[in-house]
Structure 1
Amino acid sequence: MPESTKGPTSYFPSIEAKYGHPIAHWQHLLREHRTQHPAARHMDLVTWLKSEHGLGHGHANALVAATLAEDEHA
């Protein structure tokens, strides 16, 4: 039986289905925004995704958490 995805990445399939873009698209936007706004914190990024791109809070939070964690381990 396949192992279920846990944590922020468990939202990825529904994010792609609802907003019509792959996760890589959202991560690219987040990374680009962070380059332009290096002082932006987690909730600043969540608010930006919600206000500028219409994402729901849970989806935006999951994208930010996963992207920041990935970048921290890069």
Structure 2
Amino acid sequence: MTDDKIKGPASYFPAIEKKYGRSIADWQALVRARAPARHMELVAMLKTEHGMGHGHANAIVAQTLAEEKGG
């Protein structure tokens, strides 16, 4: 039996899409448009400009930055 449960930042993605009505690709495009910037600056942007909660903002930024680094 395999464990197909999503782990890490991506585990938040279905809830983020449902709550904020935008795709993860849209959110990641916003983060990438602000690069280069520090992780917490990007989190703050999502929170203040888009009303996102800290955990959701952090998940999007963490995943986006990891993808940019090839991870």
Fold shared, TM-score > 0.5 on shorter chain:
yes
| Structure 1: gaps (5+ residues) | none
SS at match of 1:18: helix
Shift of 1:2: 6.0
Aligned to 1:54: 51
The superposition leaves residues 24-48 of structure 1 with CA deviations (integer Å, 9 ceiling, x where unpaired) of: 00000110111xxx2x200110011
Match of 2:39 among 39, 42, 45: 42
| Structure 2: gaps (5+ residues) | none
Q: Percent identity?
A: 61
Aligned residue pairs total: 70
The superposition leaves residues 13-66 of structure 1 with CA deviations (integer Å, 9 ceiling, x where unpaired) of: 0000000001000000110111xxx2x200110011000111000000000000
> After TM superposition, where is structure 1 displaced by more than 2 Å over at least 4 residues in a row?
none
TM-score under structure 2 length normalisation: 0.92
TM-score under structure 1 length normalisation: 0.89
SS at match of 2:6: coil
